[in-house]
Structure 1
């Protein structure tokens, strides 16, 4: 299913932040185990399984390191 950018509340109840870079957050849902990536405005930009989201977050991190 495609991701639709969705405003969130940052996830303090069901989500645990796994990584953070330049305000972007990789979070894991402690109930369901899925992950998501939030931009600095807490808008969900991607979601899916842990492996896919870790890989996507690594790409994001590499793009920041190039700047």
Structure 2
């Protein structure tokens, strides 16, 4: 499914930060296990599996 860029509240409750590079965060949902990348302004830029998003974050 395509990503729809949307504002987030930063993931304080349901999301665990698993990587942070220059303010870009890779977060994993504590309940469902899916991941997302949010930018320094807390906008979701991508979502999906952890392995793919780790690689995407490294390429930013």
**Structure with greater contact order relative to length (CA < 8 Å, sep ≥ 6):** 2
Aligned residues: 60
**Gap regions ≥5 residues in structure 2:** none
**Gap regions ≥5 residues in structure 1:** 61-67
Quick one: distance in 1 between partners of 2:23 and 2:54? 16
**Superposition TM-score, scaled by structure 1 size:** 0.85
Larger proportion of strand: 2
**Superposition TM-score, scaled by structure 2 size:** 0.94
- Backbone CA RMSD of aligned residues: 0.7
Quick one: distance in 2 between partners of 1:22 and 1:45? 15
Question: Could you tell me which residue of structure 2 aligns to residue 49 of structure 1?
Answer: 49
Larger proportion of helix: 1
